[in-house]
Amino acid sequence: MFSQSLLEDHQDMSSQLGFFSFPPNYNNVGMISTTTTATLPFIGYNQNTLKTLTMNIPPSFDHSLNIQESTHDPRRKEDLSPIFGGPHLHSLQKSTPNTWAWGEVNESSNIIKRREFDHDHNLGVSSIKMKKIKSSRRKVREPRFCFKTMSDVDVLDDGYKWRKYGQKVVKNTQHPRSYYRCTQDNCRVKKRVERLAEDPRMVITTYEGRHVHSPSHDEEDSQASSQLNNLLW
DNA sequence: CGGGTTTGACCAGCGC
DNA sequence: GCGCTGGTCAAACCCG
């Protein structure tokens, strides 16, 4: 679903990024629960590479997922508007009114690369700028996974235990962004939670990093979940 | 008292 | 160089 030029331009990149969306009948709270599991197809950068991301999803989830074309880099602050309020969101919402997500798998943890998307909406990221990766507090950028969920509660139960370490009001938004860290020792996974400015009913959750442990509760599901979560995180 | 949250300060990157 | 911004820190605070 990536544009051909994107694939050709970035054959050398080991990292991968794609969208996968959730059907209209799947909506909301506890999206990543431990009730059952489903496997989400994931389009990789290399044309012949088909990644599989695995998440735990409620039974009501319709597994017939639509892969959406990726057209932006959510890590760029400049792209936030296109993601959350621009024409792409509109198109996504038409087909998937409740939830969408983007995922990333970075198989080379020591290589920090960003990507340039090829599309018609002037949302591309300069490949030169992509090389200007900051090496401030976080030397290695961890894999990220982001999704949007319609929910009244900000923090969805994903089976892990989180400690809030910060909150920030982001520019041009009415709702603060919250920062969480996994409470498990030696686990450096973080997540950000914020509400969509254009639609406060929507919660944007961004996970960063890979858990080095199983979810902290739901023992009966932990065996299956841990195996699957290992694939994702 | 221990663990989690709040919140102002601080820091580094980026754009101008 | 400076100001803006996002991300993080850490002391104070809260709560069971």
Alpha helix positions (H), chain A: 4-9, 80-85, 87-95, 127-131, 219-232
Distance A172 CA to B16 C1' (A): 20
Q: Which of residues 60-119 of A touch strand C (CB under 7 A)?
A: 77
Do the Cβ atoms of A210 and A142 come closer than 8 Å? yes
Q: What integer pLDDT is reported at residue A165 of this predicted model?
A: 94
A138 touches strand C (CB under 7 A): yes
Distance A64 CA to B13 C1' (A): 41
A179 touches strand C (CB under 7 A): yes
A165 touches strand C (CB under 7 A): yes
Protein contacts on strand C: list nucleotides below 7 Å from a Cβ.
Answer: 4-10
Q: pLDDT tens track of chain A, all 233 residues?
A: 222 222 222 222 222 333 333 333 333 333 333 222 333 333 222 222 223 333 433 333 333 332 222 223 333 333 333 333 332 222 222 223 334 445 544 333 333 233 333 332 332 233 333 333 333 333 456 677 777 777 777 777 777 889 999 999 988 888 899 999 998 877 888 999 998 888 888 888 888 887 878 776 544 444 444 443 444 44
Burial grade of A122 (CB within 10 A; 0-12, 13-18, 19 or more): exposed
Per-residue DSSP letter, A124: -
Q: What integer pLDDT is reported at residue A149 of this predicted model?
A: 79
Do the Cβ atoms of A42 and A86 come closer than 8 Å? no
A19 touches strand B (CB under 7 A): no
Q: What integer pLDDT is reported at residue A140 of this predicted model?
A: 53
User: Could you give all domains of chain A from N- to C-terminal order, each with its CATH number?
Assistant: 147-212 (2.20.25.80)
Per-residue DSSP letter, A70: P
Distance A15 CA to B10 C1' (A): 32
Q: Which of residues 171-210 of A touch strand B (CB under 7 A)?
A: 178, 180, 183
